[in-house]
Amino acid sequence: MEWTEDSSLATRMLRDLGDEIWIDKHLPHVTELVYCLTRSWYQRRKPLPFTPREVLLFTTGVGLEGVLLKQHKQQIEGVLDGIGYATDFLTYEGYPGEMKTTRLSAKKGPHELPVTWMRQMLSYLRCNKDDRMLLAVLHLMGDYAPPFPMLKVWQGKALQWEIGMNWAWMLMRKDIYMASLETDTPPEQFTYNEPWECDNCGYKLICDANQAIKDLKGG
C-alpha cells in the first residue's frame, strides 16, 4: 500500500472537532473566571476558531474523561452567587472529584500543579459545601522516563479559610468580568491571567497589539 499524507483533511478534521468545543455555559461560569478573564471575554464576545493545539489538548482530555469516568460520572451542575459550576464527578463516598489531563510530568505533586486547578477545585468545594476533593490526573507522558501515560489520584482536604478566600477572589473576578461585558470592553490584557496562559493563546496577537497601543499612549 502506498500512503500520501493529507494535511488538508487533518486541518478539516481539527476544524470540525473545534466546532464541538464551545458549550454554552451559564454566564459567568467557574471555568471562565478561573482562567484569563481577557481570553474569556473574547471567547464570549469575539471568538476566534480554536488553534489546532487547543483542539487536540481539549479533545484528548474530553475523550479520556468520557472513558475513565463512565462508571461514576455524575456531573453536579448548579449556580452559586450567580456563578455557574459543573463538578466533573462524585466519588464513591459522594464528594467532588476533578479529572485533569496534562503533559506535565507525573513527578510533580499536587502543590506543583497549575494554580488554576487549585482555584477551580476550591470553587467546587464551596459550591458543593464539602472540604474533601479527589483529583485524578492523567499524565499523558507519565514521568518522561520513558514517556508513557500514567494515572495518579490524590485525596485532598481543604481548610475552610482556603475555600472562603478563594471564593472571595472568584466573586471579585465575577464583578470585573461582568462589568467588562456590560461596557463591551475586554479586561486589560496581561492583567487577569497566569503568564503561562499566554503561551499558544489564540488571542495573543490582539493582546500584543492592544499592549503596544497602550505603551505608545504612555501606559
Which spans of this chain sit near ligand SF4 (rule: CB under 6 A)? Answer: 36, 38-39, 189-190, 193, 197-198, 201, 203-204, 207
| Residue with smaller CB distance to ligand SF4, 135 or 201 | 201
| Residue with smaller CB distance to ligand SF4, 46 or 72 | 46
Closest CA to 21 of 60, 50, 1, 45: 50
Shortest distance, position 35 Cβ to ligand SF4, whole Å: 8
Shortest distance, position 145 Cβ to ligand SF4, whole Å: 31
| Residue with smaller CB distance to ligand SF4, 93 or 184 | 184
Q: Roughly what angle, to the nearest 10 degrees, separates helices 115-128 and 160-182?
A: 100
| Residue with smaller CB distance to ligand SF4, 77 or 194 | 194
Burial class (CB in 10 A: 0-12, 13-18, 19+), 40: buried
- Cell 462524585 belongs to 90
Shortest distance, position 39 Cβ to ligand SF4, whole Å: 4
Angle subtended at Cα 99 by Cα 161 and Cα 122, rounded to the nearest 5 degrees = 10
Shortest distance, position 142 Cβ to ligand SF4, whole Å: 28
Contact 192, 38 (CB under 8 A): yes
Shortest distance, position 189 Cβ to ligand SF4, whole Å: 5
| Residue with smaller CB distance to ligand SF4, 61 or 202 | 202
